[in-house]
Amino acid sequence: MCGIIAYSGKSPAAEKLYRGLKRLEYRGYDSAGISTLSEGCIFTAKHGGRVERLRADLGALSGCTGIGHTRWATHGRATDANAHPHLCGRFSIVHNGIIRNCEQLKKELKGLGRTFFSQTDSEVIAHLLDMYYCGDMLQAMLHAVARLKGLWAVAALCADFNGFIVARRSSPVVLGEGDDGFYAASDVHAIVGCAHSCCVLEDGDIAVVTPEGMRVYDSLLNPVVRAFEPVPAECAGGDMEGCPHYMLKEIRQNAAAITDTCDGFFRCEGADGLFKKLARADKIVLTGCGTAYNASLAGARLLGWAYDCPVSAHIAGEYCSDPPRLTTRSVCIAVTQSGETADTLAAASIARGCGAYLIAVTNCPRSAVTRLADFVVPVCAGPEVCVAATKSYIGQLACFHLLAAGECAMRRAGQLQSVAAKVKKLAFDGAYARVIASLCASSRAVFFLGRGGDVDVAVEGSLKLKEVSYIFSAGYPAGELKHGTLALVDESVLSIVLMCDQCLVSKCESAVEQILSRGGKVAVITTLPSAYASVSPRVQAAWLLPQTCAHLSHFISSTALQLVAYHTALLVGRDPDKPRNLAKSVTVE
């Protein structure tokens, strides 16, 4: 994962790199570091912990060229020593990715008398550059990356060269041009407000960047031209708009995610052709990771009702071990907030390899998945800064409704508009979420239960709570309770039962009774006044949400569960925006 940034230009680099790292911090925050270059000397500061810790070092980092890193550890703990940049000889490097053959390379390099100062895989890159360097940095990089197996975006400084070099394979890199210099970064967020135009490096590219300009080479060192386009203004994450955390701000943007996604969909050219593809498909598969997978579960349900072919959702990380059989008539829908999720890209590539038509559902219009896809359905949720996905999930649900509605998408958009108004009211007035949050905060474990479409909401509600509060939780069908999990229920366990489908209420009420009879705590969340009236006298908490029809209720119940997770995080003293061990853009498999 990690975020890398590099700058070479007329202005002091350290401040620029620091600012860029702050914007990349959602990609990982185990440690951070910066190297700058001034008159043939490399200056480095790095620490375990967040980017903020670098602030005190900026004054000591002189020079108008430099590289920076914010880490999500894959090899080695989050210590100062494992923080990037890694230094060797005249080189300093930052790396995003995984070097799969690092153990063999370390063995070989140690055999040559080299000493390693970190447990990271990345340090081998600094050694390889140093080993292959004979005065030509480009050649050294070419030889070094030829030895690597895995994924990388690497930026390197050499004390002899006034500039930096960047190379990539599978991990993303954008180049940017600003009025006072040139940039490379893991994504465009890092350079918004600094660069006016940017381009995406392709796999195998190596770029050499100096204060005077940039040159890009392909993997055979042929000079190549990559198309620059304006840096989009909307990439900026914006401020917190008076909210104490991005998570709350972004939950409050759920309604806009629904309406903007509908608007974005109708601006897409070729939607009619897309509906025909779906209608003629012999199979539709959806794939994603984490929250995007949970959205895919709901998507598979909606598309399964709408289209006359088998529809299934697949965890992207498992896709390659058991790929569904697809044909040239099949459709694969790859769902990824960032558009860079490595597991999802791998699954999408397998589906493409079978000849399937690939639809990307993503919140990032210039991302890797959009370059791979035949058709992009944009999630127009706006930049999502909180690591736990909220509004992007809601936007993904809106996309699935529109895809499922086909020719009737316009009518469905009208229904989505009215549900968005209810979501908005709820997000700004979620006082009851605190009541349920206090039950969560005092529980050893929380189970989320539902039936039908509520199961998908339960699974995502559980993930949200885990991510931001670290309280153990699981989401599953209420009917499964008696087949095993009931053994875990006692007075220290809370079960949150969703009841948003009138046809399934009585079955959910049975689950509630089974839990209460074992001394378990129950909170019911429902859009149905009759269900509320029936269960509220018997349970610890009951929350009556705005009413809506069952197939649209997931927008409302998911928003409610996001608020519960947010308030629980606060009650147990967690930072909801940056949960430990996690990062937003998961670009490693």
Contact set with ligand GLU (CB under 6 A): 1-2, 28, 71-76, 95-98, 120-122, 588
Dihedral angle of Cα 21, 26, 31, 37, to the nearest 10 degrees: -20
- For residue 281, the SS3 value is coil
Residue 1 or 216 with smaller CB distance to ligand GLU = 1
> Which residues have C-beta within 8 Å of that of residue 505, sequence separation ≥ 6?
499, 528, 530, 531, 534
Shortest distance (Å) from residue 30 CB to ligand GLU: 8
- Catalytic site residue from 464, 466, 521, 584: 584
What is the helix (H) or strand (E) element at residue 41, kind and residue range?
Answer: strand 41-48
- For residue 412, the SS3 value is helix
Shortest distance (Å) from residue 134 CB to ligand GLU: 27
C-alpha 461/C-alpha 481 separation (Å) is 17
Strand runs (DSSP E) across 174-274, as ranges?
A: 174-178, 181-185, 195-200, 206-210, 213-217, 223-224, 229-230
The H-assigned helical ranges of 215-341 are 246-251, 254-267, 271-280, 290-306, 316-319
Shortest distance (Å) from residue 100 CB to ligand GLU: 10
Residue 103 or 234 with smaller CB distance to ligand GLU = 103
How is 513-529 classified by DSSP, letter by letter? Answer: HHHHHTT-EEEEEES-H
Residue 573 gets which letter from DSSP?
T
C-alpha 584/C-alpha 578 separation (Å) is 9
Residue 2 or 368 with smaller CB distance to ligand GLU = 2
Number of residue whose CB is nearest ligand GLU:
2
| Catalytic annotation present for 2 | yes
The neighbouring-strand residues paired with 91 are 88, 158
| Catalytic annotation present for 46 | no
Enter the tokens of residue 537: 């006298």
Residue 330 or 587 with smaller CB distance to ligand GLU = 587
Mind spelling out the 3-state secondary structure of 319-356?
A: HCCCCCCCCCCCEEEEEECCCCCHHHHHHHHHHHHCCC
Residue 24 or 397 with smaller CB distance to ligand GLU = 24
Residue 70 or 495 with smaller CB distance to ligand GLU = 70
Q: What letter represents residue 569's amino acid?
A: A
Q: Which residues are catalytic?
A: 2, 584
